[in-house]
Amino acid sequence: MSQVHRDDIGSKMGMWLFIFTELLLFGGLFITYAVYRYLHPEAFHLASQELDVPIGTINTIILLISSATIAMSVTAIQQKKKKLSLGLIAATIILAAVFLVNKYFEWGAKFDHGIFPGSEYLDQLGYGDVLFFGLYFFMTGLHAFHIIIGMVVLGFMYVYVKNDRLTHDNFQLLENGGLYWHLVDLIWIFLFPLFYLIA
């Protein structure tokens, strides 16, 4: 019976259920976004122009590539190519770090213009701008937090693969880590057009 030895499908199911909770967590924010965008369409439109589309696009592509690399590392470990798998996990973590660096500069630029939650400048701009940037910082911030968690998770996966705790016939954990990483990507796929592309 499945209790005696490990249950890969059960473990994957656990990961998926956890992903659902994350989707619902962001779901609450998407509801908020939908409501305030409906109430302040013009302001959201104008505020969105403040965001840097090229950086956003580059970051989107970075995340997409990182998603592909982690998926390939799962393929690699199944083909018993340990080195390649390790390299791909490392690549994913590095891409994640690049994403965060970009994000840092992006946020920094906004702060320099006096745009941050609770700032006096922002309060003068009006309701729509306060809410747009409130949501922007809150949602991208929470997303960035998930990136950091994802990096830690993948860091563990790297060590496990290195120590042969995860091998070609026991890789479910790596797949789960990958699922988490794809979730982070998935959320960004929606954040990007909702914040950057409503000009």
Partner 1 sequence: MSETVKQGAHKSYLEETGGRKGIFKWILSTDHKRIGLLYLYSIMTWFVIGVALGIMMKLELIAPGKTIMGAQAYNATFTVHGVIMIFLIVIPGLPAVFGNFLLPIQIGAKDVAFPKLNLFSWYIYVAGSILVVASLFAGGGPPDTGWTFYAPYSFKTGTNMLPAVVGAFVLGFSSILTGLNFLVTIHRLRAPGMTFMKMPVFPWTLYGTAWIQLLATPIVGITLLMVLGERIFNIGFFDPAKGGDPILYQHLFWIYSHPAVYIMILPAMGAISEIIPTFSRKTIFGYRFIVISTLAIAFVGYFVWGHHMFTSGMSGTALFTFSILTFIVAIPSAIKVFNWVATMHQGSILLKTPFMWAASFIFVFLIGGLTGLVLGALATNVHVHDTAFVVGHFHFIVFGGTGFAFFGAVHYWFPKIYGRMYDESWAKTGWLIFFIGYLALYGPMLYLGIKGMPRRYFDYLPEYHGPNILSSLGALVMVSGFLIILINLIRSARHGEKAEANPWGGTNLEWQISSPPSLENFDEIPTIDKATYKYD
Partner 2 sequence: MAEEKHHIISYQKLLGVLGILIVLTLLSVAITEIELSRWATIAALLIAGIKSTFVLLIFMHLRFDQRIFRVMVGLIIALVLVVIFITMLDFMFR
Question: Where on the chain is the footprint of partner 1 (CB under 8 A)?
Answer: 1-3, 7, 9-10, 13-14, 17-18, 20-22, 24-29, 31-32, 35-36, 39-40, 117-118, 123, 126-128, 130-131, 134-135, 137-138, 142
Nearest-approach distance from CB 18 to partner 2, in angstroms: 12
Query: Does 190 participate in binding partner 2 (rule CB under 8 A)?
Result: yes
State how far the Cα of 140 lies from the Cα of 183, in Å rounded to an integer: 14
Nearer to partner 1, 40 or 182 (CB): 40
Query: Does 6 participate in binding partner 2 (rule CB under 8 A)?
Result: yes
Q: Which does 57 bind (CB under 5 to 8 A by kind): partner 1, partner 2, none?
A: partner 2
Residue-by-residue DSSP string for the chain: -TTTS--HHHHHHHHHHHHHHHHHHHHHHHHHHHHHHHH-HHHHHHHHTTS-HHHHHHHHHHHHHHHHHHHHHHHHHHTT-HHHHHHHHHHHHHHHHHHHHHHHHHHHHHHHTT-STT-HHHHHH-HHHHHHHHHHHHHHHHHHHHHHHHHHHHHHHHHHHHTTSSBTTB-HHHHHHHHHHHHHHHHHHHHHHHHHS--
Among residues 72, 131, 135, 139, the one that binds partner 2 under rule CB under 8 A: 72
Site for partner 2 in 40-69 (CB under 8 A): 53, 57, 60-61, 64-65, 67-68
State how far the Cα of 133 lies from the Cα of 193, in Å rounded to an integer: 15
Phi, psi of 189 (to 5 degrees): -55, -35
Q: Which does 197 bind (CB under 5 to 8 A by kind): partner 1, partner 2, none?
A: partner 2
Measured over the CA atoms of residue 173, residue 179, residue 183 and residue 189, the dihedral's sign is: positive
Nearer to partner 2, 24 or 101 (CB): 24
Nearer to partner 1, 7 or 50 (CB): 7
Binding site for partner 2 (CB under 8 A): 2, 5-6, 8-9, 12-13, 16, 20, 23-24, 27, 30-31, 34-35, 38-39, 53, 57, 60-61, 64-65, 67-68, 71-72, 74-75, 78-79, 169, 178-179, 182, 185-186, 189-190, 192-194, 197-199
